[in-house]
C-alpha cells in the first residue's frame, strides 16, 4: 500500500500517438517462441490512459489491474522517457 501511495502521480505520455515500444525492447518480437503479449497489453493500456488527468490508481482501476503491478511499468517508462 505504501509503494502505491508513494508512486501515485499523474502521468503524461511524452509522445504523440503510439510510441515505438519494439525498438526499446518493450514489445515482444513475433519470432520469439511462446510470446506473451499480456505485458505489452498492459504497456499499451497504461500509455492510453496516461494523459495527465489520471493518476496511477485511476489508471489501475480503468484497466482493471492492481496498481502494484503498474509500478515497474512506470519505472521502465520513466527510464525510456515515455512519461513525465
pLDDT in tens, 27-73: 766 655 555 678 888 999 999 999 999 999 999 999 999 999 999 99
- Give the phi and the psi of residue 12 in degrees, each rounded to 5: -135, 135
Q: Is a pLDDT exceeding 90 seen at residue 75?
A: yes
What is the model's pTM?
0.83
**What pLDDT, on a 0 to 100 scale, did the predictor assign at position 35?**
56
Domain residue spans of the chain: 1-15+37-84
47-75 core/surface letters (b: 16 or more CB in 10 A; e: else): bebbeeebbbebbbeebeeebeebbebbe
Q: Is a pLDDT exceeding 80 seen at residue 77?
A: yes
Q: Which helix (H) or strand (E) holds 41?
A: helix 38-49
**What pLDDT, on a 0 to 100 scale, did the predictor assign at position 29?**
67
Amino acid at each position: 500500500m505504501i509503494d502505491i501511495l508513494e508512486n501515485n502521480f499523474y502521468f503524461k505520455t511524452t509522445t504523440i500517438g503510439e510510441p515505438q515500444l519494439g525498438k526499446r525492447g518493450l514489445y515482444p518480437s513475433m519470432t520469439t517462441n511462446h510470446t506473451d503479449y499480456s505485458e505489452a497489453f498492459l504497456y499499451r493500456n497504461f500509455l492510453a490512459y496516461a494523459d495527465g488527468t489520471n493518476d496511477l490508481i485511476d489508471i489501475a482501476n480503468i484497466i482493471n489491474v492492481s496498481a502494484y503491478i503498474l509500478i515497474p511499468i512506470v519505472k521502465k517508462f520513466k527510464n525510456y522517457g515515455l512519461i513525465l
